[in-house]
Structure 1
Amino acid sequence: MVAGCWFVFRGLCPGPEPGPRIETSFQRVKQVLLVDGHSLIYRSFFAFIRRPLRNALGMNTSAVFGFANTLRKLLRDLKPGYCAVVYDAPGKTFRHEKFKEYKIQRPPAPDEMVEQIPVIKEMVTAWGLASFEVAGVEADDVLGTLAQRFAKQSFEVTVATSDKDMLQLIGDSITVYDPWKGKRYRPRDVLEKLGVDPKQVPDYLALAGDSVDNVPGVPGIGPKRACEILKRHGSLATALKKEKCLRGHESVAKLSRELTEIDTSVEIDAVPEGLRIRECDRKRLGRVFEVMGFETLLRELGPEAPEPVTVVEFKGDFRLETAGKFAFCYRPGAGLWFSHDGKQTVFIPEKDRVHIKQLLEEPKLVKVGYNIKQQVKLLHQAGLKLKPPVFDVSVGAWLVDTSRRRYQLEDLMVQVLGRPVRAAGPDGEPAQVLQLFQALEPQVAAMDLEPVADELEMPLVFVLAEMEELGIKVDIDYLANLEQELARELGNIRQKIWQLAGVEFNIGSPKQLGNVLFERLKLPKGRRTKTGFSTNSAVLTELVSLHPVVQEVLHYRELTKLCNTYIRPLLESANERTHRIHAEFNQTGTSTGRLSSSNPNLQNIPVRTELGRKIRNAFVAEQGKVLISADYSQIELRVLAHVTGDDELKQAFFRGEDVHAQTAAAILGLKPEDITPEHRRMAKVVNYGLIYGMSDFGLSSRMGISLEEARSFLKGYMGRFAGVAEWRERIVRQAQENGFVRTIAGRMRPLPGIISHNHNIAEAAKRAALNSPIQGSAADIIKRAMLNLAESFHERGINGGMVVQVHDELVSEVDSKQVEEAHDIIKEEMEGAWKLAVPLVVDIGMGHSWAEAH
């Protein structure tokens, strides 16, 4: 633990400051901050009630986030030397025994708030703060006892709460601070707020009552009259003797006072030293922030410096016979650093290529690294080669938990080891990587992920590195001309929109567009947003028939997106010399196992639109080569038939029939020749929709049919395809029992939200439980096909290789003289990649451009 973490954390975690600023600790040493924990929890939770905050697992994090930010601000602004958070204990108190209706009108605490309380308590402890919770005693009484006790010991006490009951504690050494208003209350502020002195607050509430706690008060007495009575008589006891209006109400007044008066004599073991703010437990606090998804707080926490590592120069003996593994880091022009124990790093300068080669190509040693795909490319550029077996810690971390969002080395140190540590340089990176490996390897084994790791994901690193190195060529002139063509067309559409609207405005501004559509043209308004009314595509589509300007706006947006999202990024990404694009294919980018693409993203290029086809025309083969596009036919439906074992679905594939037409015929009881295009379209929506957990309402919306028709169609489907219906029920039940689902390769997707109390989260998790085994298994199949195809291409001397992977499609670029042989290899390897209960079928096309081939 690093000393003086208050300074390191820039105010996030208090504690003694290092160096020349240590004197500020003495200025704060006699200040105590007492935090009303449950008040802060409630206010934080309901502050986000309309738009709750959620982490990657779907858990509501509003209370934790609000609590953390408020506590951080309190510690930063008030700078106490001592602090404690006080919570209400479960169960009833003496006030409930005196008055059964006490707080009876309050609804039960929401489940989503209650489940955050243990997280908050863990966070407070990790923050280095004391906490108190006394059975049978309200937090108010514990706060009051602590405040009075420390005030008598010459401490300056601040009670952080928005509860007006606490104003009665205020005195010479005690103030109340409302963190929501940022206001500190002293005696004069209480007089200004309520019209009474702090010591009169219990009397004031006894007379006026308190609706928040269901304290009855005296009938007919409100706040104003309560103040007048206390001004005349000074106290409730005197007023009860002299005020005629209180006669007959003595019992309720005394009861109300007993309910509102804070007990400052609670038996509690608390001494000043126990409340002294300690150093943060960076590991525990960082873990809370990471799980909750609080990126800003995690960054503020600040990483520790990496542990020092001894670096020695290589002496000619690896001494790795018994190690079985080593972690490594290569830097071009410098050399290779490696470590087998995490304590000492050995450096081999790049000039000693013989030993670097010997180490990296040793088949008996596991080479552990971070972002090995990049290391493979750097080594290849230097004329060096890394050979299996390997273990990439980022891929391993993803396999263990596919819901992670960040995979930088610093992120993994926090997520896997719970340690906010800065990524080390090349000399220290092997030690950090080895620590991650030692934590991840047993998790991979315990979760039965070794087969998918060893046989699929780790070997795939090499295939992806080769794909990225090879890249794909784009026709720069074609793209430039297309950009100019679209720019001219956009200019014409812009003028037409202005003419139809009767005014010039920024079409790309949702606010200005909304003003034109809804104020100037008086079109029906959609839902309201922060800046006005929504102008998203769904809203505009509903307005198309009402005014011609709407269709032009949609067209304008489509062309603008085409230019900004596809054409310009492609032009900017192309190598100036080769005109090839070297996009990245990421293994850790999705939760299902699919690959993602970036820099640029080649997977979001439209497939079915004419404009999308124009973009694909820009991807071309080098002279003397051909592009081959191989696309799995209905692979997700084939996987569905395999995992469900549904006989009807399997037979349709074995007979080579149009599965959508057959589905429609089976459901509607019609002959295949009587199925209309509309029938087939509905069956297709159902076939694929069921994979994504589509409901009857979803089918109704998608097809524009009544809810009753949609229910009837789905009922007919489930009746005819009983295997699918049974599998859907079984997979959801298993996910609820286990908290995860698996693919055919054994890949896991955690689904903690499936048992959430929140209906929307639970339903989303159910849909993921249905989709992930199907989509993830399709990903397993194409990844194995990629491994087999790469191996066959090399073994059979094919001049070329895979250049693009988009979901179920693989694009290869090969020598035109070998195109027939390559075609046969691709068909053989892709259709034979996995033995399913139904045949895998691949549609293959060839051409100079991607558009021609697909």
Structure 2
Amino acid sequence: MEKRLIIIDGNSLINRAFYAVPPLTDKNGMHTNAIYGFANILFKIISEYSPTHMGVAFDLKAPTFRHKMYADYKGTRKGMPEELAEQLAPLKEMLTYFNITKMELEGYEADDIIGTVSKHFEKEDIETLIITGDRDSFQLASDKIKILFTKKGVSELEIVDKQVMMNNYGITPTQFIDLKALMGDTSDNIKGVAGIGEKTGLKLIKEYKNIENLYEHIDEIKGSTKTKLENDKESAYLSKQLATININIPVEIESDEFLLKDFDNDKLNEFFIEHNMMSLVKKLKNFSNSDEQNSGSEAENTAKAEKIIDYSTDVDEFLQDRHTRIAIKIVRENYLVDIPAILSVCMLSNGKFYAISDFEKIKHILEDENIEKIGYDIKAEYLSLLPYDISLRGIKYDLKIAKYLLSPDNNSYDISEIAMEYGLSHLQSHEEFFGKGKKEKVINPFTKKEVEEYYMKVLDIVDSSYDIVMGAIKDAEMTKLFEDVEIPLITVLSDMEYIGVAIDKKELENQKIEFAKHIQRLESEIYELAGEEFNINSPKQLGVILFEKLNLPPVKKTKTGYSTDAAVLEELSDMHDIIGKIISYRQYTKLQSTYVEGLLNIINPNTERIHSSFNQTIAATGRISSTEPNLQNIPVRLEIGRNLRKAFIARQGCVLVDSDYSQIELRVLAHISDEEALIQAFSKDADIHTQTASEVFGVDISEVTKEQRGAAKAVNFGIVYGISDFGLSNNLGITKKKAGQYIKTYLDRYKNIEKYMQDVVAFGEEHGYVTTILGRRRSIPQLKQKNIMIKNLGKRLAMNTPIQGSAADIIKIAMVRVSNRLKRENLKSKLILQVHDELIIEATADEQDYIKALLQEEMSKAYDMKVELKVDINVGNSWFDTK
């Protein structure tokens, strides 16, 4: 194998990675984006260039010999951001586990180390590749030394060698030093010759070869160029010294010290898990497997292949066994059919695997409440069985939900990543196995065995994780929350999805026509105000119209031109009539495509209902979210948004009963802060915002003005979300100073609320997390950050999470209570929707009054608080009618 050294400019690459990769933090709040980017490029270059030797050179904080020559060397550079500086030590730790040599030497820069090492390997006739984003290294290029210059962050590398230098600049690598001597380098604060740029510098070096020869023939130079060169002769020579990489630093180099050995996979694995880099865990696994396969014999590799799982398909054998806990996963067809057929029910029980096709014979076991059922995303299994009149009972454990409770801010709860984190067996991710889009695996009777084998591995992980994960939940004091709220909620949400909500298709089609008319009218008015037709949906074209043709002041720019986002348009709204039209146009087109047309496209042709998916593992606060459609995002503050609710109707012979918690988050705030004034206001069923205005502004309730009530309302809700004086000033359109006075007056009056805010932040800083009234935890790593903006975000999250999260806990308890009553009493009415703080039941006409009383009782008693949980209940034929 041909020898090859790769040597990396560590400071250059980590800087590039830091600015190229979006902000990432680990569970302790430490920033990790630079480490993540650096690790990815390590995998990439090792894979693509197969180095035999490898090293990473770093700068030290101490001054170098260049600072002694010129005190202002690099004097214009800003210090390293704290978010990057904290990543240096763990990055170097990671390199240790990669078994990559690290180099740094006081008094010298990384460039000097790289130069010395690369020239050493050149003498040994070993090819060297230098990875850097610093053009200074171009001077090192030779027949054996090439520069891999980082472009576009860290995703693209440009190879620079002697020929490229000649093609691009027309000079040799060593002449690049002379070029810098003339043109200087602002990034290093190397002055060069004032007024000499790259174009003139190249012309001079091409003609005179180097600055020494140039100054020997200075009289041949004419005009202002000669004057500039004469005035800055001393600077030119100093600049050349500063720009020259020292290739003979005092360090002993042994080539074998740079040999790239096997990674310490266990340590790397632990490191990536510790810093929440699960994709790198997967990459390491694939990388290691690839190396093993490439290095081993065919027989060895066959032995390393994953074994085929042995399992029984005999239903009688399954029935003969005694079951206490069953891990379950269902194989279903996935091509376009109304009700995908179940091909088999995969189960793990008593250490045995089963795949039962004749699953109706085991209905009594599936429905046995006393036999525990465990799984991963078990809602899918529950929903799969409903069309067959089988209700999966005894659900005890869902690994996905359990992991969500433990890590609510994770972006993904893929079982393969969970398995890696807990050191369980390796598993392909769902997407890797099943594919996606056009590459999605077709599941049918011919492929079911392959899927069964995959699911058996899933069930093995579920079963193996049970004691570990439930132990972690117990340690976090969330067992009651998990068992009494989150697990029962699975069936509640599943039933809501299965039942769906009736849709008035004709109403939507009429709205579609009306929306189209409005959009066409707005287009015409916008074109008239602009004086020409253009693509309103193109930010670039819109930017030209607004800021060049109409001469409106640009608010901010993006990489591609003027920003025309919502915030920018809002700021410009009073400056030209066209702005309001554009805002309306965007509202109408968004609602038309997302909701009017979107709802029409997802109506089930058999049921004439939509079946939204309700998610309990998305929002970190514990809130339930929905997709297809996203009911939470219907803009009900706009009349056109509210009108969409007309399409959500009750089926014939039924009505919709809408029950909405009144100001639940403010009631939670009163409860957890123990603020007597707020508690008393709610106890009297007073208008809480008028009461607050009276308290804060020191006026009688009858004298509270509309402006004062509006300010009190904004502060009330602002406190819930940890609002700042800046945020409140924007909301109310007042000065920051006045907004600050409002907040101060409010907190002076409500001392216990201020104390709550201080206490919950202090708790979060001490423990690293905050909790809801039911003990739901959320880590707040931002509180540990030194960056004031990030720390303030952490404070707002710490104040808001217990309030919003507790409200989420209460609505979930209410859902479980209501659903249990409906089933226990065998009522025909069904819970069909949950949106924000409201529940909607499709009630039969004869049960309508009873349902209203049931909702009032179960929702108001969901949690015992110091203030009443007030519930507003309304009835209508459509969702719109209930408001």
TM, length-normalised to structure 1: 0.83
Matches within 5 A, 1:401-420: 401-413=407-419
Residue 55 of structure 2 corresponds to which residue in structure 1? Answer: 85
Distance in 2 (alpha carbons) for counterparts of 1:624 and 1:515: 56
Partner-residue secondary structure (3-state), 1:158: strand
Matches within 5 A, 1:740-779: 740-779=769-808
Structure 1 residues 313-354: Cα deviation after superposition (integer angstroms, max 9, x where no partner): 346367987x9644211235333222257xx65224232534
Q: 1:570 to 1:212 in 2, by over 3 A?
A: closer
Contact 1:205–1:257, Cα closer than 8 Å, also in 2: no
Distance in 1 (alpha carbons) for counterparts of 2:708 and 2:693: 6
Partner-residue secondary structure (3-state), 1:312: coil
Displacement of 1:837 in angstroms is 1.1
Query: Which amino acid in 1 is paired with 2:381?
Result: Q
Q: 1:623 to 1:192 in 2, by over 3 A?
A: closer
Contact 2:540–2:560, Cα closer than 8 Å, also in 1: yes
Residue 132 of structure 2 corresponds to which residue in structure 1? Answer: 161
Distance in 2 (alpha carbons) for counterparts of 1:432 and 1:319: 25
Displacement of 1:849 in angstroms is 1.0
Displacement of 1:771 in angstroms is 1.0
Matches within 5 A, 1:64-75: 64=35, 66-68=37-39, 70-71=41-42, 74-75=45-46
Partner-residue secondary structure (3-state), 1:115: helix
Q: Are 2:592 and 1:563 aligned?
A: yes
Contact 2:6–2:53, Cα closer than 8 Å, also in 1: yes
Partner-residue secondary structure (3-state), 1:569: helix
Contact 2:780–2:798, Cα closer than 8 Å, also in 1: yes
Q: Are 2:433 and 1:426 aligned?
A: no
Identity over aligned pairs, percent: 33
Residue 377 of structure 1 corresponds to which residue in structure 2? Answer: 383
Q: Are 2:94 and 1:109 aligned?
A: no
Q: Are 2:312 and 1:339 aligned?
A: no
Between 587-596 and 160-169, the greater mean CA deviation after superposition: 160-169
Between 577-586 and 803-812, the greater mean CA deviation after superposition: 577-586
Contact 1:472–1:804, Cα closer than 8 Å, also in 2: yes
Query: Which amino acid in 2 is paired with 1:597?
Result: S
Q: Are 2:267 and 1:291 aligned?
A: no
Distance in 2 (alpha carbons) for counterparts of 1:812 and 1:530: 49
Q: 1:592 to 1:278 in 2, by over 3 A?
A: closer
Distance in 2 (alpha carbons) for counterparts of 1:204 and 1:496: 57
Q: 1:432 to 1:296 in 2, by over 3 A?
A: closer
Contact 1:203–1:257, Cα closer than 8 Å, also in 2: no
Distance in 2 (alpha carbons) for counterparts of 1:69 and 1:747: 34
Partner-residue secondary structure (3-state), 2:631: coil
Contact 1:483–1:563, Cα closer than 8 Å, also in 2: yes
Residue 520 of structure 1 corresponds to which residue in structure 2? Answer: 549
Distance in 2 (alpha carbons) for counterparts of 1:442 and 1:451: 13
Given candidates 246, 252, 270, the residue that maps to 1:261 is 246
Between 706-715 and 174-183, the greater mean CA deviation after superposition: 174-183
Distance in 2 (alpha carbons) for counterparts of 1:673 and 1:718: 23
Residue 161 of structure 2 corresponds to which residue in structure 1? Answer: 185
Q: 1:161 to 1:442 in 2, by over 3 A?
A: same
Contact 1:205–1:256, Cα closer than 8 Å, also in 2: no
Displacement of 1:562 in angstroms is 2.1
Distance in 1 (alpha carbons) for counterparts of 2:403 and 2:731: 38
Q: 1:814 to 1:280 in 2, by over 3 A?
A: same
Residue 309 of structure 1 corresponds to which residue in structure 2? Answer: 309
Given candidates 395, 401, 406, the residue that maps to 2:401 is 395
Displacement of 1:811 in angstroms is 0.4
Displacement of 1:170 in angstroms is 5.5
Partner-residue secondary structure (3-state), 2:791: helix
Contact 1:413–1:421, Cα closer than 8 Å, also in 2: no
Structure 1 residues 629-685: Cα deviation after superposition (integer angstroms, max 9, x where no partner): 000011000000011011111111111111111100011110000011221111010
Q: 1:140 to 1:186 in 2, by over 3 A?
A: same
Residue 102 of structure 2 corresponds to which residue in structure 1? Answer: 132
Displacement of 1:834 in angstroms is 0.1
Distance in 1 (alpha carbons) for counterparts of 2:429 and 2:525: 55
Contact 2:55–2:258, Cα closer than 8 Å, also in 1: no
Residue 350 of structure 1 corresponds to which residue in structure 2? Answer: 357
Displacement of 1:162 in angstroms is 4.9
Residue 327 of structure 2 corresponds to which residue in structure 1? Answer: 327
Contact 1:618–1:849, Cα closer than 8 Å, also in 2: yes
Contact 1:627–1:850, Cα closer than 8 Å, also in 2: yes
Between 690-699 and 102-111, the greater mean CA deviation after superposition: 102-111
Query: Which amino acid in 1 is paired with 2:277?
Result: V
Matches within 5 A, 1:799-818: 799-818=828-847
Residue 242 of structure 1 corresponds to which residue in structure 2? Answer: none
Query: Which amino acid in 1 is paired with 2:317?
Result: G
Displacement of 1:366 in angstroms is 3.5
Q: Are 2:630 and 1:592 aligned?
A: no
Query: Which amino acid in 2 is paired with 1:266?
Result: V
Displacement of 1:254 in angstroms is 15
Displacement of 1:550 in angstroms is 3.1
Residue 5 of structure 1 corresponds to which residue in structure 2? Answer: none
Residue 705 of structure 2 corresponds to which residue in structure 1? Answer: 676
Contact 2:178–2:211, Cα closer than 8 Å, also in 1: no
Q: 1:538 to 1:146 in 2, by over 3 A?
A: closer
Q: 1:186 to 1:129 in 2, by over 3 A?
A: farther
Q: What is the number of equivalent residue pairs in this alignment?
A: 802
Distance in 2 (alpha carbons) for counterparts of 1:121 and 1:309: 41
TM, length-normalised to structure 2: 0.81
Q: Are 2:812 and 1:783 aligned?
A: yes
Displacement of 1:579 in angstroms is 1.2
Matches within 5 A, 1:342-741: 345-351=352-358, 353-355=360-362, 357-358=364-365, 361=368, 363=370, 365-413=371-419, 421-423=428-430, 425-427=451-453, 428=456, 429-437=458-466, 439-741=468-770
Distance in 1 (alpha carbons) for counterparts of 2:127 and 2:358: 67
Partner-residue secondary structure (3-state), 2:537: coil
Structure 1 residues 363-395: Cα deviation after superposition (integer angstroms, max 9, x where no partner): 2x5322121111101112222222124211111
Residue 4 of structure 1 corresponds to which residue in structure 2? Answer: none
Distance in 2 (alpha carbons) for counterparts of 1:258 and 1:408: 50
Distance in 1 (alpha carbons) for counterparts of 2:562 and 2:190: 44
Contact 2:67–2:73, Cα closer than 8 Å, also in 1: no
Contact 2:142–2:161, Cα closer than 8 Å, also in 1: no
Q: 1:216 to 1:376 in 2, by over 3 A?
A: closer
Displacement of 1:565 in angstroms is 1.7
Contact 1:336–1:356, Cα closer than 8 Å, also in 2: no
Contact 2:675–2:750, Cα closer than 8 Å, also in 1: yes
Contact 1:32–1:80, Cα closer than 8 Å, also in 2: no
Displacement of 1:178 in angstroms is 3.2
Q: 1:119 to 1:309 in 2, by over 3 A?
A: farther
Contact 1:290–1:298, Cα closer than 8 Å, also in 2: no
Structure 1, unaligned runs of 5 or more? 1-25, 234-244
Q: 1:261 to 1:636 in 2, by over 3 A?
A: same
Query: Which amino acid in 1 is paired with 2:346?
Result: W
Residue 241 of structure 1 corresponds to which residue in structure 2? Answer: none
Between 838-847 and 564-573, the greater mean CA deviation after superposition: 564-573
Partner-residue secondary structure (3-state), 1:786: helix
Between 569-578 and 820-829, the greater mean CA deviation after superposition: 569-578
Structure 1 residues 266-311: Cα deviation after superposition (integer angstroms, max 9, x where no partner): 2466517832576977956875896388899899979998764332
Contact 1:327–1:369, Cα closer than 8 Å, also in 2: yes
Between 303-312 and 672-681, the greater mean CA deviation after superposition: 303-312
Structure 2, unaligned runs of 5 or more? 152-156, 217-229, 291-304, 332-340, 434-450
Residue 849 of structure 1 corresponds to which residue in structure 2? Answer: 878
Partner-residue secondary structure (3-state), 1:403: coil
Displacement of 1:566 in angstroms is 1.2
Partner-residue secondary structure (3-state), 1:643: helix
Distance in 2 (alpha carbons) for counterparts of 1:131 and 1:506: 55
Residue 14 of structure 1 corresponds to which residue in structure 2? Answer: none
Query: Which amino acid in 2 is paired with 1:663?
Result: T
Contact 1:83–1:277, Cα closer than 8 Å, also in 2: no
Contact 1:37–1:85, Cα closer than 8 Å, also in 2: no
Distance in 2 (alpha carbons) for counterparts of 1:80 and 1:96: 35
Query: Which amino acid in 2 is paired with 1:185?
Result: D
Distance in 1 (alpha carbons) for counterparts of 2:715 and 2:328: 50
Partner-residue secondary structure (3-state), 1:398: helix
